[in-house]
Structure 1
């Protein structure tokens, strides 16, 4: 009976999953463009260099190899960012700050619960993943991963490439980048991520049928609307510019772990 209840809960959670809408949290739409100081992401880069590996079209994280020292480093990195006031920095610094913070917290959530088959197993009994749970306090305000992505990054920058930057620790997700985001490299990283996700990682065409990552379905409006998806995709994969066939969507929630 208990087993059946858990199964039903899982099915309900999955069936009710829907992508949050972009919903600006006005407090965070402030910046100090005169501030030329840079935020260091050295600790995060160190973890990426040590544990992220490229295999085929994926970058995979060696969660099972992370040392206790590096777990402490990750925790300290997140705590250091949380003590900063991002509003005192220019917008370019803020974007890198939020993306790196999101990705670092996601990796920490997996490590805190490892081994786990999928990030969707985290969260409460009736939750589909941990995205709605408070994970960090900044400027005295509790934030969830959903807040960072859907109430800060998406509505403030209005850049569809943000969907290629934030990583949900899943094979279906655009890859975790091999470089930490900085104000200087953000545009190049976003373009590279978009190119990769618009080809082998997120788009597959066989004959008159295109299989796309579900990200293009969940966030179609960010990419110009469902009918305009291939206008966006063809910016990074010109071979798909005139595609007008059938479109299906798929997403793999399996953990992005290296064996």
Structure 2
């Protein structure tokens, strides 16, 4: 018995906590989100409890040091998008996510992204905490800006499947290319760029390994000149509803 106890203690640091499955979120996304990223929030309301249950499972299975970066980032992207949908469903019908926290009075909250909505390891987190305090802080991955979706028309499209750690790079690249190719959100030519304000708001994230043009040229079919004139398009905050 003493030998067995000693063995368990000695091997404890190497025990790996199982990662939670994102399959249930994947099922909901396939059911309620179309290929253009439009969300059928009215129908999604009938599955609101299933979404809540998925997020409860995520709360109980937070990332550990045994997870690699792709596994951690996959967890946080899926959680962020699920929480955004949960927020919309809670106040649905709304015309815009920006109506939450302003016309709907919530004490001590300035924006919907400041609402504490996810308790993990004893800490209450908001969408801002997750995006800026965890994802942007811990992962130098600019493509996350095309995966995190804030429920607005001008956002990148919500992927109608959950992100998976073993396919994360492929999914992020596909999302980036899709967003840049969408002429309602970006107009790209050799000498002129009319870009989403995402590239203005988070400009530094796209310049960590070169210029903005260097980043864009990795994911566009157009070879952009380094001296291309750049402007930013208006952002449409209307709900990304089907």
CA apart distance, 1:37: 3.5
| Distance (Å, rounded) in 1 between the aligned partners of 2:202 and 2:171 | 20
Change (3 A) 1:37 1:192: same
The question of 1:153 aligning with 2:130 is answered no
Check whether the contact 2:27–2:161 (CA below 8 A) recurs between aligned residues.
no
The question of 1:47 aligning with 2:31 is answered no
The question of 1:196 aligning with 2:173 is answered no
Unaligned runs of 5+ in 2: 1-12
Superposed CA deviations along residues 201-251 of structure 1, whole A, max 9, x for unmatched, are 5420368542100000000000007x9211111100041421533322122
| Distance (Å, rounded) in 1 between the aligned partners of 2:31 and 2:100 | 25
| Distance (Å, rounded) in 2 between the aligned partners of 1:89 and 1:63 | 36
Q: How does 1:63-142 map to 2 (within 5 A)?
A: 63-68=41-46, 70-90=47-67, 91-124=69-102, 125=105, 129-142=111-124
Check whether the contact 1:120–1:128 (CA below 8 A) recurs between aligned residues.
no
Unaligned runs of 5+ in 1: 1-31
The question of 1:220 aligning with 2:198 is answered no
Check whether the contact 2:29–2:161 (CA below 8 A) recurs between aligned residues.
yes
CA apart distance, 1:88: 5.0
Question: If you compute each CA radius of gyration, which structure gives the higher value, 1 or 2?
Answer: 2
| Distance (Å, rounded) in 1 between the aligned partners of 2:34 and 2:51 | 18
Change (3 A) 1:194 1:132: same
Change (3 A) 1:231 1:113: same
Residue aligning to 2:4 = none
Larger strand share, 1 or 2: 1
Q: Secondary structure at the match of 1:248?
A: strand
Q: Give the aligned length.
A: 222
CA apart distance, 1:89: 4.3
Residue aligning to 1:162 = 144
Residue aligning to 1:6 = none
| Distance (Å, rounded) in 2 between the aligned partners of 1:128 and 1:235 | 37
Check whether the contact 1:121–1:128 (CA below 8 A) recurs between aligned residues.
no
Check whether the contact 1:230–1:240 (CA below 8 A) recurs between aligned residues.
no
